[in-house]
Amino acid sequence: MTSRPAIPRHIAIVMDGNGRWAKLRHRPRSFGHNAGRKAVREVVEGCLREGVEALTLFAFSSENWKRPEEEVGALMALFVRALDKETEELHAQGVRLRFVGDLTAFDEPLRERMQAAMAHTAGNRRLQLSVAVNYGGRWDIVQAARQAAAAVARGALRPEAIDEAMLGQRMCLAELPPLDLFIRTGGECRLSNFLLWQAAYAELHFTDTLWPDFDQACLHRAIEDYGRRERRYGRTGEQIASDKG
């Protein structure tokens, strides 16, 4: 294991700043969300080019339902349009698409569309793209704990057997490489309830760039920044250096 891998295997992005981007242009917030689609295409292209294995995008948080009804409706409509339009292109690029989050909140036709897109791209291997919708990091931990509790109740699991590895296997994204790089656009330096468990040892990269302006060059800069970090996982810099030597 090298301490300074140049390319993160798994990147997650909080795609923030659409509303402010639209406001700067005196347009409705939904205009900014729509413009964000281009940035999604940019980061997918960038990950394919750089050889990143997994990309996880925060599209709608479990808290975003609190937004005005009109904005939530516009986001759902955009989501359906993007799903219909982009799935084929992603498939052609060798991208496997997954949706993570509490999907039970969505209506049946939308859920079916999501399932169909997941099934259609399930054999692809070049890039694992996960889109987090109605996702919350606390929800994720709760659902994993609930699965473990149910196994205990059926007598299939001893409480003493519940450890980090076991609970981790029940969290979203467990089948992917560990999260290496967590990016947030839009200038806020917070996690906003994204991937709380999975980000425990991720490198964090915050940029003021608003999401619709984020492009392959911005992604490349984030990857370069990551390449300069020393990941110590609790050990000392000297220990890491002697491992390499």
**Residues with catalytic function:** 16, 64
19 binds ligand IPE (CB under 6 A): yes
Residue with the CB atom nearest ligand IPE in the bound state: 19
Interacting partner of 14 out of ligand IPE, Mg ion, none (Cβ under 5 to 8 A depending on kind) = ligand IPE
18 binds ligand IPE (CB under 6 A): yes
SS3 11: strand
| Selected range binding ligand IPE among 84-92, 119-127, 186-194, 201-209, rule: CB under 6 A | 186-194
Between 97 and 240, CB nearer to ligand IPE: 97
Residue 245 C-beta: closest distance to Mg ion, Å: 45
> Binding residues for ligand IPE, how many (CB under 6 A)?
18
Interacting partner of 54 out of ligand IPE, Mg ion, none (Cβ under 5 to 8 A depending on kind) = none
137 binds ligand IPE (CB under 6 A): no
Interior/surface letters 147-171, b for 16+ CB within 10 angstroms, e for the rest: ebeebeeeeebeeeebeeeebeebb
Do 128 and 90 meet the contact criterion of CB atoms below 8 Å apart? no
Please enumerate in sequence order all residues whose Cβ is within 8 A of that of 152, keeping only pairs 6 or more positions apart, or say none. 158, 159, 162
Return the residue of 60, 79, 106, 197 that touches ligand IPE, per CB under 6 A: 60
Please give the Cα distance from 207 to 209 (Å, whole number).
Answer: 5
16 binds Mg ion (CB under 5 A): yes
Residue 60 C-beta: closest distance to Mg ion, Å: 11
Return the residue of 30, 56, 61, 198 that touches ligand IPE, per CB under 6 A: 61
**Alpha helices for the chain (secondary structure H):** 18-24, 29-50, 69-92, 108-120, 137-153, 164-168, 216-227, 237-244
Q: Look at residues 205, 202, 131 and name the one whose alpha carbon lies nearest to residue 172.
A: 131
Q: Look at residues 96, 57, 94 and name the one whose alpha carbon lies nearest to residue 79.
A: 57
The binding site for ligand IPE (CB under 6 A) comprises 14-20, 29, 58-61, 64, 75, 186, 188, 190, 192
